[in-house]
Homo-oligomer: A and B are copies of this chain.
Amino acid sequence: MEAPDITAALELEEGKPEKETRAEIRRRKLLTIASDLFATKGYDATSIRDVAAAARMNSASLYYHFASKEEMFVAVENASVDKIHDRVSAALAARVTDPWERLEAAAVAHAEALLDRTGFRVLVTLLYPPGLSEGVRHRLAARRDQFERMMAEVIDTLPLADDVDRFVFRKHYLGGMNAVGVWYSPGGKLAPADIGRRIVRVLKG
C-alpha cells in the first residue's frame, strides 16, 4: 500500500506510478544519486562526471535522461520540496485537532523527511545556482511557497500571545528546521522524530 520513498517523492515528476518504464526507473535512480551528491558536496562542486561515475555510466549518457545539469538540479529541488510537503501533509491529514499537536505532527514528519538517508535525499538549498533563469526560479519558489502556506495555516491557529509575530515565528521555525541536517548525527541520541518533538517543545515555551 505504501509506495517506496522515492516514488512518493517523485510522483508528480514522474507521472503515473503504476507502469514505470526502464527509462523512468533509470531517471529516478540518477535523481537519487544526484540528490546525495548535491547534498554532500554541493551543486557546483558536483560534476556530471561525478553523478555518472556513481551510476556507473558514461557522462554523455546522462544527457539521454536530462537536457542539462540545470534540469537535474531543478528535478532534485522539486522532488525535495515535494517529499517534505507530502510527508507533512499526510501527517496533518491524520486529523489531530489540538493546534500544538498539529505543529508537533508536522515537525516530526518534516524532520523525518529531511533526515531520511535511505533513497532520495532532501536537498536544502539556500542559494540557487547562479545562472538559473528567472522563470525557473519563480517556479521553484512557488513550490516552496505552497509548503510554507500549509505551515502558515498550522501556525496561525496556535494560541500565542498577541505580541508574538507569527510571520517571524514561521520564518524562524522553518529556518531552524532547515538547519537540522547540519547538526543531526545519525545513530546518535536524538532520532529525527525526537528532534521534531523537542523543537516544538522549545517553541511551546
Contacts and interface: CB of A to CB of B under 8 A. Distances in A.
Interface in A167-200: 168-169, 171-180, 182-183, 190, 195, 198-199
A203 B183 CA distance: 20
A-side interface mostly: helix
Nearest to A179: B175
B205 A204 contact: yes
A169 B202 contact: yes
A93 interface: no
Contact of A164 (B173, B176, B201): B201
A130 interface: yes
A126 B182 contact: yes
The residue among A130, A168, A178, A203 with the most chain B CB atoms within 10 A of its own CB is A168
Contacts of A171: 176, 179-180, 183
Interface string A98-119: 0000000000000000000000
Interface residues of A, number: 36
Contact of A201 (B163, B176, B198): B163
Contacts of A169: 202
Given A168-B202, A175-B180, 9 more contacts: A126-B182, A164-B201, A164-B202, A169-B202, A172-B179, A175-B176, A175-B177, A176-B176, A179-B179
By Cβ-Cβ distance, the 10 closest A-B pairs, closest first, are A205-B205, A175-B179, A44-B44, A172-B176, A176-B176, A168-B198, A175-B176, A165-B198, A41-B130, A169-B202
